[in-house]
Chain A
Amino acid sequence: DTGVSQNPRHKITKRGQNVTFRCDPISEHNRLYWYRQTLGQGPEFLTYFQNEAQLEKSRLLSDRFSAERPKGSFSTLEIQRTEQGDSAMYLCANDRVAGELFFGEGSRLTVL
């Protein structure tokens, strides 16, 4: 158990619906990352927060995706108007120093 909690663990939705995932990080770690992982592939970077500031976004993060980290604690990742191509595992990770990431168990999204 890395101390990074994600929910829901699984979400099945119909195409066009909005979904939101939540990440509760290790409290003393101020950097938070979102990654996306599709079957058989390594995690792909989506976005990064330092405290409440979103400092970097990948080109993978389309306009339908938005992430927030109010108060620099938990973070949410919202996907609007979901598409079947959004089906993936969404991973949240934390680090304290610039290096080792502690990952949560992920939120698996299935878009029908």
Chain B
Amino acid sequence: GESVGLHLPTLSVQEGDNSIINCAYSNSASDYFIWYKQESGKGPQFIIDIRSNMDKRQGQRVTVLLNKTVKHLSLQIAATQPGDSAVYFCAEKGTGRRALTFGSGTRLQVQP
């Protein structure tokens, strides 16, 4: 069945380092991908998205890379800050579907 999963449940980085959070998906029909950040007790917050006709998209300090060949998505955070500490979810949506399917999340811990 369709699934979106993450490779690492917890990622610990030093402040100032770059972070890379990975995500694998199984649905070949997925055409839209999105990363969310969720802080404790809060709802998911949009970070960046990418459509399947692209392989890279950059935002402010964040970059999303999409490799459709191996069904892999990554989120890169440059110069990670303590405020980046949160759980990060990837999500995907396939053509004709309205709802996003989420993975189980990676917790990012930024050490000062």
Using CB atoms and an 8 Å cutoff, list the residues of chain A in contact with chain B: 2, 4, 31, 33, 40-45, 48, 55-56, 58, 91, 93, 98-106
Contact = CB atoms under 8 A, between A and B. Distances in A.
Contacts of A33: 99
Contacts of B4: 42
Contacts, number: 57
Contact of A44 (B36, B93, B102, B105): B102
Interface of B: 4, 32, 34, 36, 41-46, 49, 89, 91, 93, 98-105
A86 B41 CA distance: 18
Contacts of B44: 43, 91, 101, 103
B46 A31 contact: no
A103 B104 CA distance: 17
Contact of B99 (A4, A48, A102): A48
